Structure 1
Amino acid sequence: MCHFYIVYSPTLDKYYTGYTCDNLLERLRKHNSNHKGFTGKANDWEIVYQESFYSKTEAYARERQIKSWKSRKRIEALIQNKL
């Protein structure tokens, strides 16, 4: 299984979208580790939304779809199951 996910950092008040075919909790641990990159700026990321897919292609397509929205309101509506 592969996953599309959205994580949120209260410190930064930002969302990050991604996909992985690894264990989702392990991926979250990596986001919360000290590293270079966008999610390395904070260590309080939490999973707020996720969808599972049978293939990497499907999960990546969903990530690209959500990123194309470029709308925080729309992402928050998705998280609250209003989309």
Structure 2
Amino acid sequence: MLASKRDGVLYIGVTSDLHGRMEEHTHDVIAGFTKRYGVKLLAYYEHHDDMEMAIQREKQLKAWRRAWKVRLIESMNPEWVNLFDPLTGEITEGPADRARQNL
């Protein structure tokens, strides 16, 4: 899930190359919704082993109410930090994931 900012415009999509896709969003390579609304912040992501499962999950999330999406984002990333570092191209775990690992 991408966002324009905390509690801003949300975008849900599926990709087999998260790094590459985030580079495209960061540099406004593709015209459309995300470019128009400045949606560049990687707020939440999930890994799936199977593309069909990923697409099914994407459709499920798109059907959710906004409040549910926000709760899901904040369960992984309560501070809404960009999980994609545009300088290094690294994708990090959300703060909540790192805190759980340190327990």
Matches within 5 A, 1:33-48: 33-34=27-28, 35-43=30-38, 45-48=40-43
Provide, for residues 20-70 of structure 1, a one-character-per-residue CA deviation record: whole Å limited to 9, x for no partner. Answer: 011x1210121233332101114451111111011110110000000011x
C-alpha separation between the residues in 2 aligned to 1:44 and 1:61? 22
Unaligned runs of 5+ in 2: 77-103
Unaligned runs of 5+ in 1: 1-5
Larger strand proportion, structure 1 or 2? 1
The yes-or-no answer on 1:63 pairing with 2:49 is no
The yes-or-no answer on 1:20 pairing with 2:15 is yes
TM-score (ref. length: structure 1): 0.76
C-alpha separation between the residues in 2 aligned to 1:42 and 1:67? 18
**Greater RCO, CA 8 A, separation 6+:** 1
% identical aligned pairs: 30
User: How many residue pairs get matched?
Assistant: 75
Computing the radius of gyration from Cα coordinates, the structure with the larger value is: 2
RMSD, matched Cα: 2.3
